[in-house]
């Protein structure tokens, strides 16, 4: 299917005329978005020798993502998720999903060390931790990356099975979490790992009286910034950055030296006529990784950090307003242009 065919579906997003393939996933989305923003990226993994694997690798090659770290295996099928969106008897959306996980068979001996040696940042998410056979491969890759001087970026991106138990999830991600130099979590994921019921009550609290001063007002739920004491259960000594994203509304950041929040814009409403928020979070992460590789002073200079995080926010905003996740990832110039429109010059 021609990619521009998505454009003709603008009024039919929730009732498309045919089945459409959408090769990719969070890791490949971040890689593609990173390249669109002017960086260089390589993808490591395994696919089957079938049309789905060929299509995925071809798409990444077209997007100039290096794929020499991808292994083809004729004995397994490419991991696919088949989703059919329909309405149940109560009128609610329902999805039927079947997944065959061929990517779980990548061996540590199949890692491309040349790719790891070139990488300044090794990015992964928690999906790989749900497969026992892949954990040893992941930690081997992390060890090699650290040996070569790379930074480890853990993009949590919790899959559905890990939302069932806080204790179980913390146990699964603990080792990877403690080895990461940079971690990105969403607001919902952070509160889930801490105590979502407490933060739900805090968000829904309405003060009895209007707070006149800014210092009082900013402590209300719309301006809330998690304190260091609150995130301390998740902090470890080797961590250089912890980012907590709340869509494109704000990015909270924490370093050993300082912490703060960068304010963006409200997420757009999900309707058949406005946007596709599928890849917005991946675009934000790609914006962060892109700037971390080009502005090392972000680690020590709070002003530089905030200026570059506004770039990541702008990337997420553009991604929300384009149909199709991969098609929606913006270029570096488009992102910079929007950043200069959203923020005043002193904040560029």
Which domains are present in the chain?
Answer: 33-40+58-70+103-204+212-343 (3.40.1190.20)
Question: How is the beta sheet containing 259-263 ordered, strand by strand?
Answer: 121-125, 151-155, 182-186, 241-246, 250-254, 259-263
Q: Are 287 and 304 in contact (CB under 8 A)?
A: no
Query: Predicted confidence band at 323 (pLDDT cuts at 50, 70, 90)?
Result: low
Q: What percent of the chain is predicted at pLDDT more than 70? A: 75
Which residues are CB-contacts of 307 (< 8 A; sequence separation ≥ 6)?
A: 347, 348
Amino acid 347: pLDDT: 64
DSSP H or E run through 192: helix 187-194
More confident residue, 239 or 266: 239
Question: Which whole number is the average pLDDT over 115-119?
Answer: 93
Q: Are 32 and 329 in contact (CB under 8 A)?
A: yes
Amino acid 98: pLDDT: 47
User: Cα–Cα distance between 317 and 336 in angstroms, integer?
Assistant: 12
Note the pLDDT tens digit of each residue in 283-298. Answer: 999 999 999 999 988 9
DSSP H or E run through 311: helix 302-320
Question: Which whole number is the average pLDDT over 144-154?
Answer: 95
Q: Which of 41, 2, 44, 45 is nearest to 20 (CA)?
A: 2
User: Cα–Cα distance between 24 and 13 in angstroms, integer?
Assistant: 19
Amino acid 33: pLDDT: 92
Amino acid 50: pLDDT: 85
Mean pLDDT of the chain: 81
Amino acid 289: pLDDT: 94
Note the pLDDT tens digit of each residue in 35-83. Answer: 999 999 999 988 888 888 888 899 999 999 999 999 898 888 887 766 6
Question: Which whole number is the average pLDDT over 126-138?
Answer: 87
The residue count for the chain: 348
Tokens of 242: 């912890």
Mode of pairing for the β-strands spanning 66-73 and 80-87: unpaired
Instruction: Out of 119-128, 157-166, 215-224, pick the least confident.
Output: 215-224
Instruction: Out of 76-90, 110-124, 241-255, 326-340, pick the least confident.
Output: 76-90
Query: Predicted confidence band at 8 (pLDDT cuts at 50, 70, 90)?
Result: low
Question: Which whole number is the average pLDDT over 181-191?
Answer: 92
More confident residue, 58 or 130: 58
Query: Predicted confidence band at 259 (pLDDT cuts at 50, 70, 90)?
Result: very high
User: Cα–Cα distance between 141 and 147 in angstroms, integer?
Assistant: 10
- CB count in 10 Å sphere of residue 14: 12
User: Cα–Cα distance between 30 and 34 in angstroms, integer?
Assistant: 6
Question: Which whole number is the average pLDDT over 86-93?
Answer: 59
């Amino acid at each position: 299917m021609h990619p521009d065919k998505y454009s003709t579906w603008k009024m039919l997003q929730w009732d498309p005329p045919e089945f459409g393939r959408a090769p990719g996933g969070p890791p490949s989305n971040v890689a593609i978005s990173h390249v669109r923003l002017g960086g260089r990226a390589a993808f490591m993994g395994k696919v089957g020798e079938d049309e789905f694997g060929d299509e995925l690798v071809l798409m990444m090659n077209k997007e100039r993502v290096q794929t020499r770290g991808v292994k083809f295996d004729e004995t397994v099928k490419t991991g696919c998720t088949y989703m059919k969106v329909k309405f149940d008897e109560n009128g609610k959306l329902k999805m039927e999903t079947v997944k065959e996980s061929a990517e779980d068979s990548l061996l540590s001996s199949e890692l491309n060390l040349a790719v790891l040696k070139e990488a300044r940042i090794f990015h992964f998410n928690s999906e790989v931790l749900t497969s026992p056979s892949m954990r040893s491969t992941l930690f081997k890759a992390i060890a090699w990356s650290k040996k070569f001087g790379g930074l480890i970026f853990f993009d949590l991106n919790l899959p559905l099975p890990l939302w069932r138990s806080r204790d179980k999830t913390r146990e699964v991600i603990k080792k990877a979490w403690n080895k990461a130099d940079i971690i990105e979590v969403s607001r919902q994921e952070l509160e889930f790992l801490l105590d979502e019921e407490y933060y739900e009550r805090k968000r829904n609290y309405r003060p009895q009286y209007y707070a006149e001063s800014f210092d009082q007002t900013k402590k209300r739920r719309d301006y809330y910034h998690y304190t260091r004491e609150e995130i301390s259960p998740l902090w470890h000594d080797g961590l250089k950055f912890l980012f907590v994203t709340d869509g494109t509304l704000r990015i909270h950041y924490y370093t050993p030296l300082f912490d703060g929040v960068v304010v963006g814009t409200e997420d757009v409403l999900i309707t058949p006529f406005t946007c596709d928020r599928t890849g917005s979070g991946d675009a934000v992460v790609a914006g962060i990784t892109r700037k971390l590789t080009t502005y090392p002073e972000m680690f020590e200079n709070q002003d530089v950090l905030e200026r570059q995080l506004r770039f990541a926010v702008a990337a997420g905003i553009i991604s929300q307003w384009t149909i199709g996740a991969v098609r929606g990832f913006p270029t570096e110039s488009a992102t910079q242009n929007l950043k200069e429109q959203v923020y005043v010059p002193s904040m560029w």
